[in-house]
Structure 1
Amino acid sequence: MGTWGAGLLDSDSAQDFLDQANGMPVEARSTMVEEILVRVAEDPSVVNREFVPEEVVAAVAVVAATAARAREFEWMNNEALVEVAGEMDPQNHLRDAAISALSAVTGSGNSSLLSGWKNEDDRRSMERQLDEIRSVLRDS
């Protein structure tokens, strides 16, 4: 997997997920996001077997972006995310699944999303963005 920044969506896996979703009709996007989040929320062991953490985070970000609608956070300035979420209705029915799925990929101390950063500022940026998404999901 390649990354090019400390943003939640600054990886090949996250962008591939968003590109795939963008190529689908809106209802199919919603179904794809729902299937990933519900599956991970029900069985966190599927992470790294069926879905990489970056895909899960991208799906969570879609739900949060449909709830927030304003581009007030750095992670919401990702053009692929804006394109995917922009046409979707708020996905409030997925809020709990999104929070659970996000916990599944970030909850352990050895989460690949939070470990292995060479730059401490980048790691803190990732944590801040994850906290922003959690806040949006809780407040929606």
Structure 2
Amino acid sequence: MGTWDVGPFDNDDAADFADALDDAPAHVRIEMIGSVLERVADPADDDSRLSDAPRAVAAAALIAAQYPGGVTVDSAYGPSTPMPPFPTYLRDLAIKALDSLIAKPTWLAEAWNASPDRMKWRLTVVGLRAVLDPPQQETLFVL
């Protein structure tokens, strides 16, 4: 996989995924994103978790873009076609997929660990997760 930056679509696999999303009708885009997230989130499916890792990060970025604090995907390599509103179950699936990528080292995480930009990439993934599952503030008790 060729990479040129730390963004979710700044690699060959994710850019190809963006092209495929652009070519698909809206209802199929939702299925494509859900499928890649399901495969990566499944702890028993190591092959898919490993091979689909860059597409799962890209899919999570598209979902996060529709939540408060999410960043619009404006990369030259991201989809150029507007994404449909995503069902809420994809948010939970994206969180599981991102957790799966970090919990068990994948080739993607290991490749970034060898890079001087490893911390920037980890911040990208952690940032996506924080948008999808923001930390909750304690409101029951005043400290």
* TM-score above 0.5: yes
User: Structure 1 residues 55, 80: CA separation in 2 closer, same or farther (over 3 Å shift)?
Assistant: same
Letter in 2 for 1:27: H
User: Structure 2 regions of 5+ residues with no counterpart?
Assistant: 135-143
Aligned length: 131
Q: CA offsets per residue over residues 28-63 of structure 1, 9 Å max, x none?
A: 101111122123323442323xx4311121122221
**1:52, 1:116 → 2: CA distance?**
14
Distance 1:82 1:68, change over 3 A: farther
* Number of the residue aligned with 1:104: 100
Is 1:135 matched with 2:130?
Answer: yes
Identity rate of aligned residues, in percent? 29
Normalising by structure 2, we get a TM-score of 0.76
8 Å CA contact 1:44–1:101 kept in 2: the answer is: no
Q: Which residue of 2 aligns with 1:47?
A: 49
Structure 1 residue runs without a partner (length 5+): none
Structure number with larger C-alpha Rg: 2
Q: State the match for 2:74 in structure 1.
A: 77
Cα shift readout 1:77-128 (whole Å, capped 9, x = no counterpart): 32443635x33114322111111111222222x43333334543x1111011
Distance between the aligned counterparts of 2:26 and 2:77, measured in 1?
Answer: 14
AA aligned opposite 1:78: S
Distance 1:65 1:71 in 2: 5
**2:80 partner letter:** E
For the aligned residues, what is the CA RMSD?
A: 2.4
CA distance in structure 1 between the aligned counterparts of 2:76 and 2:71, rounded to whole angstroms = 11
Map of 1:26 onto structure 2? 26
Using a 3 Å threshold, how does the CA distance of structure 1 residues 116 and 41 change in structure 2: closer, same or farther?
A: closer
Residue 83 of structure 2 corresponds to which residue in structure 1?
87
TM-score, normalised to structure 1, is 0.78
SS state of the match for residue 47, structure 1?
A: helix
